[in-house]
Structure 1
Amino acid sequence: MINHHSNGLLLRCISLCLIGMVCLQSIKLVWQAELIDIQAQVISLLIHLMCFMSASFLAYSTHRTLSRVLLIGGFISFLCTAILLWQADLHIQYFFIVGLFVCLFLFEDSERIAMWVTLCILGGLFLYFQIIHDFTTPINAEFTDDIATVNAIVLVLSFLVCGFWVKRQLTHQNTTTKQELIHTKKVVEAIIPMNMQANISHIANRDKSALNVVEHNYCAVLFVDFAGFTPFSLSMSDAELVSFLHRVYCEFDDIASQLDVTKIKTNGDQYIAAIGIENTKLNAYNISQLACYFSLQLQSTFAKACDNKLRLKIGIASGNVLCGIIGKLRPAFDLWGNSVNLSSRLESSAKGGEIRVCPQTMLYSKQHYAFSEEQKVELKGIGNVTSYKLLGHK
C-alpha cells in the first residue's frame, strides 16, 4: 500500500486533473452557448470546482479522509450532472472507468469494505449510462462528434497519467525493497559466517525440528575476559561502562575483521571468537598460529584502550567444533563442542595478562611462538588438564 505522503500526492494530482476537466466543460459551454440549461451548467461547474479545490487543499493536511470523500463524491456528482444535463452520448461515462482504476490506490488495506462499495457504485454508474440510459437531447452531430473526440483524448491522457504514476510508485517500492534486502543481507553477513549464508533461506523458513549446524574438524576457539572487571565497573556509571565496552569491542572487531577471525558473541565482559570457521582453506598450523597472533594483538590493543587499568585473560583450545543456529526464538549463531568448553575453562583458570592454550595449539604454533613449560591445571567439570602459557613471538 502507498504511504501517506504518496496518498496525499495522488489526491492532489487527481484533484488538479478534475479541475482541468471542469475547465474543459467551461470551454464546451462557450462553444455551445445556446444550450437550454446553461444556468444549471454554470452552477454545477462552480460547485464542483470549489469541491475539487477544497480536496486539493486538504490532500496534504491531516484531513486526507475528508479530501478523499470530497474527491470521490465530487467526481461521481460531476460526471452524473454533466451526463444528465448534456443528455448526449459524449463518452463522459467512460471516466467512471478512470475512477475505478484510481480508487484501487486511494484506500488502505483496512478499508476494503469502503473500497468495494465505491468500486461497485462507479462500475454500476458506468454500466447504467453505457447500456441502459437513453440519451435524448438533440445536439448537432458535428458538435457531438467534436466533444466526444475531446473526451476520448482526455480519457486516454487520464489513463496515461495514472499509468505513469502507478509505474513510478512500483519503481519506488521496488527500489525501497531492494535497499531493504541489501541492508538485511549486510546484517546477516555480519551475524552468520559466509559458509553458512547459502542456507540462510532455509534457516529463515526452517523446520523447527531441524538442526542448522555445520561441523568443522579443526578450529581454534578463544574466550577473552577482563581480569578485575567487577571493581573496575563500580568506578563508573552504567552508561559509561557500556560505552567503554562498546569502544573496546569495536577495536576487537576491527582486528578480527583484518585477520579473518570470526566473532561469535559477547557476554558482558567476555568476548568469544573462533578461527577456521569462515576460511576453511586454513590448515591446523595456520589456525593455531593465527589464534596466538590474534590473542597478542588483543592484549596490546586492550592495554592502550584501558590505560593498563585492566588486563585480559585468554583461553585458546583447538579441535573439532559444531557451529550454527538452533532453537526457535531469537536465533543466533553459536559454537558447541569439547573445544569450546576447554577454551572457556582455560580462560577461567588464567590470571590477568595470561594467555592459556591447549597442547594442540602449542604444538602447531611453537615454531613461531614461545610457550612456558607445561602446567597441570584443575579445570571445573573437566579435571586435571595440561596447558601452556603463551609468552610471545620468538
Structure 2
Amino acid sequence: MSPNLAWRPIRFTPQLERTYVQCMTPRIILLQRLACIIGIASFVGYQFWDLLLDPEALPRTAPIRLAIIAMFAVVLVITFVPSLRTPRYLMIQYIVVYTLLGIGWSLILAKLPNGFLAGVSGFLLGMIFIPVLVNGAMQAAVILTPLVLGPLLVMTLAGATRLEIVNAFSWIVGGAGFAVGFAYLLDVINRHAFQLEQLLEAEKTRSEKLLLNVLPAEIAERLKAGEEPLADHCGSVTVLFADLVGFTELSRKLRANDLVNLLNDLFSRFDNLVEQHRAEKIKTIGDAYMAAAGLSGNKRDHVAAIADLALDMRMAFVEFCQDHHLELKLRIGVHSGEVVAGVIGRQKFAYDLWGDTVNVASRMESGGLPDEIQISAETKELLPARYRVVPRGEIEIKGHLQRMTYFLQGGV
C-alpha cells in the first residue's frame, strides 16, 4: 500500500461493511456507557463551579443540570436494551443527546456571571468522546453540527457580547474541527485493523482447514492445545486398505501429469465417501489407500461403516474406470482389532496407525483377489447380519498362521 493510500479509509464491500459496523458496535456501546458515567459525574461536579462563580446560582442552574444528568442516565439505561443498540438508533441518540447538551450547557452559562467567557471550554469535554462513538468523519460532522450551532444561537438570543460570541465560536469550532479530524484518523486506523483481523481470521481458517485435511478433528484440537506426545490406544477399530491392480504397468505409459490427475480424481472420490461414512482417511501410499473407523471411540458401528465404505468404493471405482476408459481392478482388504493411533514427527507430521491389526488388514488386501473385498474372520464376526459374505477359505499370511477369510459381496 502506498503512503498516500495508507491515510485513506478502506472502503469495504456492502456485506463486509455491515460486518465491520457489527464488529465496532459493541466497542462503541462500552465507550458510550463510559461517556454517560463521566457526563453524570461532570455535571454533578460542575455544581460547585457554579457556586464559585455565583453563590446564589444554584437555584437557577441546578434544574438544568439535573435534567441533563437525567438524560445521561436514560441513555446509559438504553445501552442495555438490545433493540435500541443498532447503528441507526445510536446515531439518533447521539444527535439528540449532543443537541440537548449544547443547548443545556449554553443555558447554564447564560445564568452565570461571565459564564460565556469562563465556561465555554466545557463544550470540549463533550466533544472528546465523539470520535470514538462514530464510524468516520461524516458521522462526527453530523453529530457536531447541532453542538456548534445550538450554543451560538442560544448565546445570540441571550444577548451575549461580540467578544463572548467570537470566543465561543473559536473554542467550539476549533474543538469540532479537531474532533472531526480525529474521527477521520481513528476510522482509518480501525478499518485497517479490521482488515488485518479479517486477513488473520481467513489465514487461521485456511490453516485449520489444511490441518483437518491431515488430521482427524479431535486430534487436530488436541495438537493445537499443545498435547504431546499424542498417542491413543484404540481397543476396537476397523482398518481398510485398497490398491489398484494393474496401475503400476499403466503408470509406465502415462505422463507424470496424467498419472497424478488420475490418482487425484480417484482418491477425491474415495475421500468424499470416507467423509460420507464418517470414517477417517489415514494416508495414501502410491496407488494404495488406507482408511479406518472407530478411532474416536464413539462409533460403535465402525465395522458396518467400513463395510459400506468398501462397497461404495468398489462402485465408485467402476464409474471411475468407465469415465477414463481404463481396464483396472480394485483390491480391498479389511480387518478389525486394536491399534495405537497417534501423530509422529514435528515437521510434516502425520497421523498414523500401528499394530498387528494394521499389518493383517494390509495382508487382507495384498492377499485378496481383484474386484473383491476380502475381510478377516474377526471382521466377519462383528459384521451385522444384513451383509452378504461368502467364505473364501484359509489363506497364508506372512508372520501369521493360516487365517480364515471371507469375501464381502454386498448388503441385504
TM-score strictly above 0.5:
yes
Describe how 1:29-108 pairs up with structure 2 within 5 A.
none
Residue 187 of structure 2 aligns with which residue?
Answer: 164
In 2, the alpha carbon distance for the partners of 1:387 and 1:9 equals 74
In 2, the alpha carbon distance for the partners of 1:163 and 1:184 equals 31
Structure 2 residue 294 is matched with structure 1 residue 282? no
Residue 46 of structure 1 aligns with which residue?
Answer: none
Aligned with residue 322 of structure 1, among 340, 347, 361: 340
> AA paired with 1:270?
A
**C-alpha contact 2:237 2:295 (8 A) present in aligned 1:** yes
Shift of 1:148: 7.5
Residue 241 of structure 2 aligns with which residue?
Answer: 223
Q: Secondary structure at the match of 1:221?
A: strand
In 2, the alpha carbon distance for the partners of 1:152 and 1:189 equals 54
Residue 365 of structure 2 aligns with which residue?
Answer: 347
Structure 2 residue 395 is matched with structure 1 residue 376? yes
Q: Secondary structure at the match of 2:369?
A: coil
Structure 2 residue 217 is matched with structure 1 residue 200? no
Unpaired runs of 5+ residues, structure 2, are 10-162
Provide closer, same or farther for how the CA distance between residues 235 and 165 of structure 1 changes in structure 2, counting only shifts above 3 A: same
**C-alpha contact 1:357 1:388 (8 A) present in aligned 2:** yes
- State the Cα deviation string for residues 52-76 of structure 1 (Å, max 9, x = none): xxxxxxxxxxxxxxxxxxxxxxxxx
In 1, the alpha carbon distance for the partners of 2:192 and 2:285 equals 45
**Larger deviation, residues 245-254 vs 154-163:** 154-163
Residue 208 of structure 2 aligns with which residue?
Answer: 185
- State the Cα deviation string for residues 237-287 of structure 1 (Å, max 9, x = none): 111111111111111111111111211111210111001124x3332xx32
Aligned with residue 304 of structure 1, among 319, 330, 343: 319
Identity of aligned residues (%): 24
Shift of 1:200: 3.1
In 2, the alpha carbon distance for the partners of 1:179 and 1:238 equals 33
Shift of 1:151: 5.1
Structure 2 residue 29 is matched with structure 1 residue 10? no
Q: Secondary structure at the match of 1:239?
A: helix
In 1, the alpha carbon distance for the partners of 2:7 and 2:299 equals 61
Q: TM-score, with normalisation over the residues of structure 2? A: 0.56
Structure 2 residue 310 is matched with structure 1 residue 295? yes
Structure 2 residue 278 is matched with structure 1 residue 255? no
Q: TM-score, with normalisation over the residues of structure 1? A: 0.58
Q: Secondary structure at the match of 2:267?
A: helix
Q: Secondary structure at the match of 1:384?
A: coil
> AA paired with 2:312?
Q
Provide closer, same or farther for how the CA distance between residues 289 and 143 of structure 1 changes in structure 2, counting only shifts above 3 A: closer
Structure 1 runs of 4+ with >3 Å offset: 140-156
**C-alpha contact 1:354 1:389 (8 A) present in aligned 2:** no
Residue 78 of structure 2 aligns with which residue?
Answer: none
Shift of 1:180: 2.5
Provide closer, same or farther for how the CA distance between residues 316 and 324 of structure 1 changes in structure 2, counting only shifts above 3 A: same
Residue 99 of structure 1 aligns with which residue?
Answer: none
Residue 334 of structure 1 aligns with which residue?
Answer: 352
Structure 2 residue 374 is matched with structure 1 residue 359? no
In 1, the alpha carbon distance for the partners of 2:240 and 2:329 equals 16
Cα RMSD (Å): 2.7
In 2, the alpha carbon distance for the partners of 1:166 and 1:355 equals 62
In 2, the alpha carbon distance for the partners of 1:391 and 1:186 equals 34
The number of equivalent residue pairs is: 254
Q: Secondary structure at the match of 1:383?
A: coil
In 1, the alpha carbon distance for the partners of 2:8 and 2:276 equals 53
> AA paired with 1:186?
K
Residue 244 of structure 1 aligns with which residue?
Answer: 262
- State the Cα deviation string for residues 342-389 of structure 1 (Å, max 9, x = none): 11122222232232222100112272221224312132xx23330413
In 1, the alpha carbon distance for the partners of 2:307 and 2:384 equals 10
Shift of 1:12: 6.3
In 2, the alpha carbon distance for the partners of 1:311 and 1:366 equals 27
Shift of 1:224: 0.7
In 1, the alpha carbon distance for the partners of 2:179 and 2:372 equals 80
**C-alpha contact 2:376 2:406 (8 A) present in aligned 1:** no
Aligned with residue 270 of structure 1, among 271, 288, 308: 288
Q: Secondary structure at the match of 2:332?
A: strand
**C-alpha contact 2:277 2:308 (8 A) present in aligned 1:** no
Residue 41 of structure 2 aligns with which residue?
Answer: none
Residue 32 of structure 1 aligns with which residue?
Answer: none
**C-alpha contact 1:313 1:347 (8 A) present in aligned 2:** yes
